Structure 1
Amino acid sequence: MENKEHQLARMLIGNKWTTGNNATTSPVYNPSTGEIIGLTPMGSAEDVNEAVKVAQKAFQTWSEVPSPRRADILFRYRSLLEENMESIASLISKENGKTLDEARGDIRRGFEVVEFACGIAHLMKGESLSQIAPEIDGLTLKEPLGVCAGISPFNFPAMVPMWMFPIAIACGNTFILKPSEKVPFTAIRLAELFLEAGLPEGVFNVVHGGREVVDALCTHPGIAAVSFVGSSPIAKHVYSLATSHGKRVQAGGGAKNVQLVMPDADPDATIRSISGAAFGCAGQRCMAGSLLVGIGEIVGPLKERLVSAMDSLTMGDTSGEDRVDMGPVIDGQSKNRILGVISDSEKMGIKVLRDGRNGLPKEGFFVGPTLLEQVNPEMDLFREELFGPVLSLLSPKNLDEAISWLNRLPFGNGATIYTSNGQAARHFSRKINCGMVGINVGVPAPMALFPFAGWNDSFYGDLHVQGTEGVMFYTRQRVILSRWDNNYQRIQGW
């Protein structure tokens, strides 16, 4: 029996809460204190198979429920999420380490996808054309795929799963979610509330685990589509494995996002935006601004003002009473890896303008905001995702050289330019090789109405999460052509 300190996460298979078929567990930490607060059961392929069976059975009836009736449940789910927003935010903060404000943002951005999915009766409408040929009318229908699966990361315990399952379920599919084993309890709470909203048995299932579960989801013949968000190597693995087994796949990977500052940028607003983009969520997001590019004479003042802003950031227990600006990274392994990168960079001759190894809280997995100078496109530090609060400064001669450097990056998630010059903004937004561009917007992650449009090694697939692309991903089209002879009165039989 689990105790308060070591709560055991449960799996949801057909509205039945279970610990699964495998006795192995993985620890869940409070990153602010380093304490173990729970255990995640590491599921098996057998657990996946059981979930697929109940999801297939549920699909037979759920797919026939009229879209407005499915929307009724989503509206109730939306209300329950709103009522429980603060408790979910506290849960996210405890198991992920985000500040409460960041945790509220996490659930709010997922909440927006549920709001979008509430309009499914309109979003599922097809097209029609009368007289597409003599006496022939054409129409299209959007129909659900079947059982869909989602594999989500630790960094956004609410938002990323909710990029996936609300739209998939609204479209008439059933769903199996595998959340990160590091943050299982937020996913469980999201599932509990969906059941409370009246979701039928087997429509939404949660299976915990590691690679065995991931590979089982990618290869199971009963699963039609797989959505994934995580690192690029695993995204590529999921895409390759699942597509080779005939599945539709959208796989979001890592990033190395850009914050480019022109000499005419607004100083105060730019510093605030850069600080939030680079160090918000302790740099653990696929839209974190991890490359800082200063153009021309702006570099000197930019460094000075930014270091001052970084020095003012407070770190501490995000689940405590005191308000803090920045929380920990997810676990000890991540902390040690990031601190090692800072040390290795210093040994290579890179200047550490602001050192995140100093002044850390004694407990928890903290890394302070860090600024590294003299970084260039030939370095691994330029190309590789760190997933932590480390910002690297580059100083190209002009905007065109900056764009040339940045287009060498293997990723293609986000890039922001800070400027008052419309021509510079337009040139940057058209020439930079990435899918999401910000103009004086530090984190150009789109709202639920638009796709999260990563390119290159930041995304494997064709249709992205969110927006109408999400609806297209979770449906397939049926085309119907019909002809009714005008001489029907003469047709009495064979």
Structure 2
Amino acid sequence: MSNIGHLINGEIVTDSTRYQDIFNPATGTISKQVALASKETVEEAITAAQAAYPEWRNTPAIKRARIMFKFKELLEANANHICKLIGEEHGKISHDAAGELQRGIENVEYACGIPELLKGEYSKNVGPSIDSWSELQPLGVVAGITPFNFPAMVPMWMFPLAIACGNTFVLKPSERDPSSTLYIAQLLQEAGLPDGVMNVVNGDKEAVDVLLSDQRIKAVSFVGSTPIAEYIYSTANANGKRCQALGGAKNHAIIMPDADMDNAVNQLLGAAFGSSGERCMALSVAVAVGNEAGDALVAKMSEAMKDLKVGAFSDSSNDFGPVITRQHQQKVFGFIDSAEKDGATIVVDGRAPEIAGYENGFFVGATLIDGVTQTMQSYQQEIFGPVLQVVRVNTMEEAMQLIDDHEYGNGTCIFTRDGEAARYFSDHIQVGMVGINIPLPVPVAYHSFGGWKRSLFGDLHAYGPDGVRFYTKRKTITQRWPSAGVREGASFSMPTMK
């Protein structure tokens, strides 16, 4: 059985006194073990990053960009192997893993434009012979803490742009599926990145707490559940660090009476059940406006769900795979149980999927629940599984109030043919990412990703323009070169231009 180690100062480090099993979620069997970093191991990675920072900071932006261009080429050349690693440890179907990787590569492409993105502002003669300009300078050593559900994409929301901006990086990926993340970091080394600029430490809370407390870490990026995001944000801030912590979600889709119902159903199928619903942008609640729309939605959705295939990652004809662990499988089952106990109707039940040859896998079948209300536990909490709940309301205003009342504000969408309704919805809904007939409104790499309310802790969103702002600090310089022989007397008033 192979052991997964850490990448520190360009070398794989496997020494550890603690290991954790890695499972193939399709078979339920242990496939590897991952070393869990001690405090000393994390500190070693930080030391390597700090030592590499001065030279990397002063590396011209165009040279940093060239490494990113080469990194992109290597990611594309090794895409099949990366997707296989994702499938073996996450369970994601091969086509879904390929989509995840491509979205990550797009963030690398954005980082390739760093010479343009770091250009400051210049103003000449703001006063007599006085010029002023601003620069975007790197922070130093920064860290990322990433979740299991996107082991390739989410880390690439962070480290390519952070490194391109001139920072050095310590990444703590999920210990549940670390192989693809570590392999991608090795490809970055192969692309020509100097030793110590990118470091990977696998671990649990012990590793996280070192990253949050060590004064050499200047900023922390996090994606995960809201309780952990809140802990990360408050702890990082208490230790004087810049922090962006993206948390959980409960994403709603409003189905208006005039919606193209066949299109809405097709879109909801992928948005609700793709990646087994283990997405922070998964659509987990359909809000039908009017019983006629609700009846049509449930009838068409339940019929369409008959054709969905759940199974192992290696069969690309499958629509989605298992959830990440046995414990999470039971948690999802528990939410379905609670909805039924609370009076909701289980229209399509995924609690007993039969997957030939994979009877011990962590599978949950696609589940449709009707008659859900705000008071139900299954509505209030993030299920993070292939479960779509239907809530019925009488008006669009009620639907929007339902969304605004929820503690999460990550993503939402509306299905309608009415442009006025769509515009009103996008203008007024209290959610950070909005789709109009688009079920997964995940911004492209040159915009920025982030929710509102308890879906994001921090002022700046992930990647895109906000990513550049997060990983840099602005410095403004004002200078004057007085003419020879010209000397002014002392002035005790605030300098002004009249």
> Which TM class, normalised by the smaller chain length?
over 0.9
Residue correspondence of structure 1 range 25-424 to structure 2 within 5 A: 25-296=19-290, 297-319=292-314, 321=315, 323-361=317-355, 362-424=359-421
**CA positional deviation for 1:489:** 5.8
* Cα distance between partner residues in 1 of 2:486 and 2:382: 73
* Cα distance between partner residues in 2 of 1:344 and 1:479: 57
CA contact (8 A) 2:170 2:201 kept: yes
Report the TM-score, using the length of structure 2 for normalisation. Answer: 0.95
| 1:488 and 2:469 matched | no
**Unmatched runs of 5 consecutive residues or more in structure 1:** 1-5
**Cα deviations across residues 52-78 of structure 1 (Å, max 9, x unaligned)?**
111001001000000001111111001
**CA positional deviation for 1:267:** 2.2
**CA positional deviation for 1:133:** 2.3
| 1:454 and 2:451 matched | yes
* Cα distance between partner residues in 2 of 1:255 and 1:92: 23
> SS in structure 2 opposite 1:393?
strand
Q: Which residue of 2 aligns with 1:466?
A: 463
* Cα distance between partner residues in 2 of 1:12 and 1:482: 44
Residue correspondence of structure 1 range 7-18 to structure 2 within 5 A: 7-18=2-13
Q: Which amino acid aligns with 1:275?
A: L
**CA positional deviation for 1:490:** 5.9
CA contact (8 A) 1:114 1:166 kept: yes
1:322–1:127 distance in 2 versus 1, CA, 3 Å: closer
**CA positional deviation for 1:134:** 2.8
Detail structure 1 runs of 4+ shifted over 4 Å in the superposition.
none
* Cα distance between partner residues in 2 of 1:73 and 1:281: 31
CA contact (8 A) 2:120 2:133 kept: yes
CA contact (8 A) 2:51 2:196 kept: yes
**CA positional deviation for 1:409:** 0.5
* Cα distance between partner residues in 2 of 1:124 and 1:173: 13
Residue correspondence of structure 1 range 420-459 to structure 2 within 5 A: 420-459=417-456
> SS in structure 2 opposite 1:294?
strand
* Cα distance between partner residues in 2 of 1:41 and 1:153: 17
Question: How many residue pairs get matched?
Answer: 483
CA contact (8 A) 1:154 1:183 kept: yes
CA contact (8 A) 1:360 1:367 kept: no
> SS in structure 1 opposite 2:477?
strand
Q: Which residue of 2 aligns with 1:3?
A: none
* Cα distance between partner residues in 2 of 1:276 and 1:489: 74
**CA positional deviation for 1:322:** 5.9
* Cα distance between partner residues in 2 of 1:290 and 1:378: 16
**CA positional deviation for 1:120:** 0.3
* Cα distance between partner residues in 1 of 2:77 and 2:349: 41
> SS in structure 2 opposite 1:476?
strand
* Cα distance between partner residues in 1 of 2:146 and 2:96: 18
* Cα distance between partner residues in 1 of 2:279 and 2:347: 23
**CA positional deviation for 1:420:** 0.7
* Cα distance between partner residues in 1 of 2:352 and 2:30: 25
**CA positional deviation for 1:263:** 1.5
Q: Which amino acid aligns with 1:164?
A: M
* Cα distance between partner residues in 1 of 2:398 and 2:317: 41
CA contact (8 A) 2:91 2:313 kept: yes
* Cα distance between partner residues in 1 of 2:72 and 2:313: 26
Q: Which residue of 1 aligns with 2:496?
A: none
CA contact (8 A) 1:80 1:193 kept: yes
**CA positional deviation for 1:24:** 1.1
**CA positional deviation for 1:359:** 3.2
> SS in structure 2 opposite 1:488?
coil
> SS in structure 2 opposite 1:462?
coil
CA contact (8 A) 2:353 2:363 kept: no
Q: Which residue of 1 aligns with 2:493?
A: none
Query: What percent of counterpart residues are identical?
Result: 46
CA contact (8 A) 1:107 1:159 kept: yes
**CA positional deviation for 1:358:** 3.0
**CA positional deviation for 1:348:** 2.1
* Cα distance between partner residues in 1 of 2:354 and 2:331: 16
CA contact (8 A) 2:218 2:241 kept: yes
**CA positional deviation for 1:453:** 2.1
Q: Which amino acid aligns with 2:448?
A: P
* Cα distance between partner residues in 1 of 2:311 and 2:375: 35
Q: Which amino acid aligns with 2:233?
A: Y
**CA positional deviation for 1:42:** 1.0
